[in-house]
Structure 1
Amino acid sequence: MDRTRHPRPRRYTAIVAAAAAAALFAAGCSSSAGGKKAEEAADSAAAGKADTPRMKVAMITHAAPGDTFWDLIRKGAQAAAAKDNIELVYSSDPNAATQANLVQNAIDQGVDGIAVTLAKPEAMKGAVAKAKRAGIPVVGFNGGIDDWKDQGLLEYFGQDEKVAGEAFGKKLNELGAKHNICVIHEQGHVALEARCAGVKKRFKGKTENLYVNGTDMPSVKSTITAKLKQDSSIDHVVTLGAPFALTSVQSVSDAGSEAEVATFDLNKDLVAAVKDGDVEFAVDQQPYLQGYLSVDALWLYKNNGNFSGGGEEAVLTGPAFVTKDNVDTIAKYAAKGTR
């Protein structure tokens, strides 16, 4: 698969850092054991199971009900938790104030670590500060790449949405697009706004933001359909999540439009849509990896004092383009529900 990576500024940190640290830690445990214990340690390492004290980690996201993107985040987190002997407590709410309350609940439970998204950073600042004062390490992922350091998070795992948006805009230029609508399904979400801003910055044609209520898919469909009927010059619908791309395909059909659909993010059905040509391309930020690394990072910090990026650099998990030419390479993972 052509996993083309775009040049990064100083923020780029190789994803292998966390994996390498885990491997070194496992190797250190094995080498210090003798005889039968060494064999047992090797067997344990081969099985991918940590022989460390039980931890409790809270993962708190801004996921909206029914958004399959977050299923991938959660699966990655669960895989890391199973490997690391971690009790994972997952909770989510798209309302920023409620999400902050969920962080407070985790603090009250005395968890050993918190992984959190900062889709609306200002609303989360107080809760994150309380966790730090309680001595609980906090890592960020998926949303808040411009704010995690200011809030004192230990690490960050995700995609630089500005970079991803600009890459998307350049891709539209290559395809000869002239006019797109960028569909934002949650107003005020910093990562979504950054994506559309990046598209607009690099796209040589016209970009219009279209705000929809992402928790009401029939409304999303009707709003996009109405916009396409109103303006036949729109040749691309840009969505910021797989479910919205699939709904946009229906909107294009209902409107009798010739517009193409392209999107950020993947799920199983979206991969099939790219394969069939219903969706032109997608940008993959690897949500499974974000969930996995966030939980694994807390285990590494607790058990070996490791943290990626020196507290200064984000660990980037995307973007990478998925097109009809390379989609078969990841289809097998999508079938398992991990891409």
Structure 2
Amino acid sequence: MNPPLPVPPSSSLPRSLRLAALAAACCLVLAGCSGADLAASTTDRAGGSADHIKIALITHGAKDDAFWELVRKGAEAAAAKDGVDLTYASDSDGAGQAELVRHAVRDKVDGIAVTLAKPQALRTPVAAAKAAGIPVVGLNSGIDAWRSAGLLEYFGQDESVAGRAVGDKLDGLDVKHALCVIHERGNVALEARCAGVKKTFTGETDMLYVDGTDMDAMTAAVTTRLRQDPDIDEVITNGAQFAIAAVKAAGEAGSKARIATFDLNKDLVTAVRDGRVQFAVDQQPYLQGYLAVDGLWLHRTNGNVSGGGVAPVLTGPAFVTRANVAQVARLAAAGTR
């Protein structure tokens, strides 16, 4: 047994330090523990950093999509700060994404961050994660489904609110006929955006469904629609890359329609700055990825629940226009907007 640690006279130390020294001495005398044991115990209580936490981020994002790269960058920044072992996987197909969640459960991760673009497909694997004691948080898609699905927290934009805000803005710009382009059929977030636009915009709103995985086909579909209906004076897309394609489509169709979009990337920032795109709605994807990982880490190490488990943590909408695009451009150049 190690000899007891000497405890300084009570008059030479503050009461809190005298208690800490006495606790250390008792640990060594009564339990025979080492100084390393004491340090490890203290580290666990201070924040759980003695454990190497594994978190899986599983989205419906397309491969090499600039938007999802921002989500991933934010998640990686939080993981680096928190000392988290982060894995990222994605599948735009609901069944494929569900299988990725099941794989994370089998891998016995400590937390899962998931998008609920197709909530029904994710209900069973999310339930399996919960049954295994793995906390699951939502981000980006599924603001109307995360609580019923049993998720712990949600980080993202209320897409219906964002859509209504766009509808109001179109009225302010004297738009008469808008075309809202949905590039992924069945994606609840995209549907909610266009429905929100239609709800508040006093002009006419049409929907156009296209294949977002084929940019040439998407461009051709928008071009054809603009030729068929020359009254359309605004095209609203649901992704920065689709907005750039819509600019091209308007030119090919000889249309005077202006372009606006949800979401942002570096190319879109340039397009807003030079006037090719009127405005963008930024939901801050970097922040979504960051908060999702950090939220799981805080829950694991400190028992925190962002939003109290009853309210989402909103990251948008924020409008990017020519009036404020210069500031955004500096952040986009750094790869965080």
Is residue 50–residue 84 contact of structure 1 (8 Å, CA) maintained in 2?
Answer: no
In the alignment, structure 2 segments of 5+ residues that lack a partner are 1-19, 22-46
In the alignment, structure 1 segments of 5+ residues that lack a partner are 1-32, 35-48
Q: Could you say which residue in structure 1 is the equivalent of 2:5?
A: none
Is residue 48–residue 301 contact of structure 2 (8 Å, CA) maintained in 1?
Answer: no
Q: Could you say which residue in structure 2 is the equivalent of 1:225?
A: 223
Q: 1:186 to 1:137 in 2, by over 3 A?
A: same
Q: How many residues are paired up? A: 294
1:25-36 → structure 2 map (5 Å cutoff): none
Calculate percent identity across the aligned residue pairs. 62
CA distance in 2, matches of 1:185, 1:50: 43
Which residue identity lines up with residue 69 of structure 1 in the other structure?
F
Name which one, 1 or 2, has greater alpha-carbon Rg: 2
CA distance in 1, matches of 2:143, 2:210: 24
Question: How far apart are 1:50 and its partner, in Å?
Answer: 9.4
Helix, strand or coil for the counterpart of 1:73?
helix
Q: Could you say which residue in structure 1 is the equivalent of 2:68?
A: 70
Which residue identity lines up with residue 292 of structure 2 in the other structure?
S
Question: How far apart are 1:248 and its partner, in Å?
Answer: 0.4
Question: How far apart are 1:299 and its partner, in Å?
Answer: 0.4
Q: Could you say which residue in structure 1 is the equivalent of 2:249?
A: 251
Regions of 4+ moved over 6 Å: none
Question: How far apart are 1:53 and its partner, in Å?
Answer: 2.6
Question: How far apart are 1:330 and its partner, in Å?
Answer: 1.1
Is residue 50–residue 83 contact of structure 1 (8 Å, CA) maintained in 2?
Answer: no
Match of 2:328 among 290, 310, 330: 330
Helix, strand or coil for the counterpart of 1:57?
strand
Q: Could you say which residue in structure 1 is the equivalent of 2:314?
A: 316
Q: Could you say which residue in structure 2 is the equivalent of 1:41?
A: none
Q: Deviations over 1:56-114 (max 9, x none)?
A: 10000001123211010000000000000011110000000000000000000000000
Matched, 1:242 2:233: no
Match of 1:302 among 300, 303, 313: 300
Q: Could you say which residue in structure 1 is the equivalent of 2:212?
A: 214
Q: Could you say which residue in structure 2 is the equivalent of 1:101?
A: 99
Q: Could you say which residue in structure 1 is the equivalent of 2:162?
A: 164
CA distance in 2, matches of 1:285, 1:50: 32
Is residue 65–residue 215 contact of structure 1 (8 Å, CA) maintained in 2?
Answer: no
Q: Could you say which residue in structure 2 is the equivalent of 1:198?
A: 196
Q: What is the TM-score of this pair, normalised by structure 1? A: 0.85
Question: How far apart are 1:148 and its partner, in Å?
Answer: 0.5
1:78-157 → structure 2 map (5 Å cutoff): 78-157=76-155
Q: Could you say which residue in structure 2 is the equivalent of 1:271?
A: 269
CA distance in 1, matches of 2:322, 2:66: 22
Question: How far apart are 1:52 and its partner, in Å?
Answer: 4.9
Q: 1:236 to 1:50 in 2, by over 3 A?
A: farther
CA distance in 1, matches of 2:205, 2:167: 9
Which residue identity lines up with residue 268 of structure 2 in the other structure?
L
